[in-house]
Amino acid sequence: MSVVIEARDAEFAFGRTPALRGASIAVDAGEILAIMGPSGSGKSTLLHCLAGILVPDSGEILFDGVRVDTMSEPERSSLRRDRFGFVFQFGQLVPELTAAENVALPLLLSGVRRTQALRRAYAWFERLGLDGMEQRRSGELSGGQAQRVALARGLVAEPQVLFADEPTGALDSLTGEQVMDLLVSAAREQGTTVILVTHEARIAAYADREVMVRDGRVNAPDRIAS
CA distance 158 to 83: 8
CA distance 179 to 171: 9
Q: Is 66 helix (H, G, I), strand (E, B) or coil?
A: strand
Q: Smallest gap, in angstroms, from Cβ of residue 206 to another protein?
A: 6
- Which residue among 3, 190, 212, 215 contacts another protein (CB under 8 A)? 212
- CB-hemisphere CA count at 13 Å for 225? 7
CA distance 186 to 56: 31
Q: Smallest gap, in angstroms, from Cβ of residue 211 to another protein?
A: 10
Q: Which range binds another protein by CB under 8 A, 78-86, 118-126, 141-149, 204-212?
A: 204-212
Sheet (strand 17-28) strand order: 17-28, 3-14, 58-63, 66-67
How many CB atoms are located within 10 Å of the residue 216 CB? 22
210 contacts another protein (rule: CB under 8 A): yes
- Which residue among 26, 108, 112, 184 contacts another protein (CB under 8 A)? 184
Residue with smaller CB distance to another protein, 57 or 200: 200
Q: Smallest gap, in angstroms, from Cβ of residue 221 to another protein?
A: 4
172 contacts another protein (rule: CB under 8 A): no
Binding site for another protein (CB under 8 A): 38, 181, 184, 200-202, 204-208, 210, 212, 219, 221-222, 225
